[in-house]
Structure formats: structure tokens, C-alpha cells
Amino acid sequence: MKDFEGKLFVFSAPSGSGKTTIVRHLLAQEKLNLEFSVSATSREARGFEVDGTDYYFISLKEFKENIKSDAFLEWEEVYRDNFYGTLKTEIDRIWAQKKHVIFDIDVVGGLRIKKKFPDQTLAVFVKPPSVDELKIRLKKRKTESDEKINMRIAKASVELATAPQFDIIIKNYNLEVALKEAEQLVSDYLSLE
């Protein structure tokens, strides 16, 4: 019997598109055998965030040392001295449990993972109905200032332009439909084994 060869499921989208809601739904489907990939970050924990659950919180110095030692599958400096990335050990940890990896990740990181594991990755872009709808969803969250929301909206236009580089685009115009579509996509991809 050969060793477990896990699949990778990348879900990327602009903020407010619903990717986190979709990923949480998929994780709740036990039959899919998915485990969430926890990203590392050099920023401080916010509010109720838990190290090892929400992120691996590491110092800027340690993050840079991990970059030098090629410990990341992908990484990005999102803001000055504010790094995010996926440690290679995270994939090993999940595959050792004989589970498939699911990512809730920005478009740049998502495309890098697809490039490194082209035959094992299903890269899904979650598309919102419109940029105006994104703005409405972000404001409804009441978690960020108007300035931060405007930054996210400006970034969304760039992110939306990357959609054709993904394997599949899910249009999240109706959440229930998007959840069913995502579940079917993952299930079908796992059936290809």
C-alpha cells in the first residue's frame, strides 16, 4: 500500500467574498477529510486569536530566519515588516494525519501553492457579485475603519483580475448555492484519486 498522498484545496478571494465561510463549511463535512492549514505571521495576535489555531505567531527575526532556511512553502510581506506564510511543516503535519489540506489564503499565496503542487492542488477563486457588494459586506462586519475598508476594496480590483489563473471560479452571489458548489467541487476532486 502506498503512502498517503494528500490533496491541497486553495480558496482565495478578496476580503468579504465569503471564502472563510465556505472553508469553515467544508471543514465541517467530515466525509471530505480536510484539515485547515494554519499560516504563520510576524504580527502580534489580535483579540482572542490563539497561537497554533488562528496563526503561528512568530517574531519578525524568526520569520526572516525561516525565509533564509527555505522553511516556507509560500510567504509574502503584506505590509512593511508584516509577513504571512505557510510553513512546509504544516503540510507534513496534516498529511501525517492522512488528511487533505485546505487553505483560506490570499491570491498570491494561493497561486504559489498551485505552482509548487500543480497535480495535487485544486485552486478555487471565490468571486463576489460586485465590488460594491464587497464594500457593503465589509461595512456590515463593523470590524474595520473606513480607511482600512477602502484599502481592501482597492486591493480587491487587483485580486479579481487574477481569477482566470485559478482552476475554478465560484460565484458567491447566493451563499447556499456557493456552499453546495464548493462541497461538490472538493468531493469530485477527491474522487479523481
* Residue 56, domain CATH: 3.40.50.300
Residue 66's region, left for phi above 0, alpha for psi from -120 to 50, else beta, is alpha
Structural domain tally of the chain? 1
Residue 92 in any domain: the answer is yes
pLDDT at residue 138, rounded to an integer: 79
H helix runs in the chain, sequence order? 19-27, 60-68, 88-96, 107-116, 131-141, 146-160, 175-191
pLDDT at residue 102, rounded to an integer: 97
Can you give the pLDDT at residue 139?
78
Is there a domain that residue 1 lies in?
Answer: no
- Nearest to residue 13, comparing CAs of 109, 147, 106? 106
Question: Quick check: is 127 in a domain?
Answer: yes
In a domain, 3, yes or no: no
29: in domain: yes
Domain that residue 47 falls in: 8-186
Sheet holding 40-41, edge to edge: 56-57, 40-41, 82-87, 72-79
Selection from 121, 109, 124 nearest residue 166 by Cα? 124
pTM: 0.89
CB 41 within 8 A of CB 105: no
Asked if residue 140 is part of any domain, the answer here is yes
What is the chain's percent helix, strand, coil content, to nearest 5?
A: 45, 25, 35
Low pLDDT (below 50) residues in the chain: 1-2
Distance separating the N- and C-terminal Cα atoms of the chain: 14
* pLDDT for 3: 67
Task: Tell me if 70 is assigned to some domain.
Answer: yes
Q: Which pLDDT score, from 0 to 100, does residue 144 have? A: 73
Decide if 118 is inside a domain. yes
Can you list the alpha helix ranges (DSSP code H) found in 12-87? 19-27, 60-68
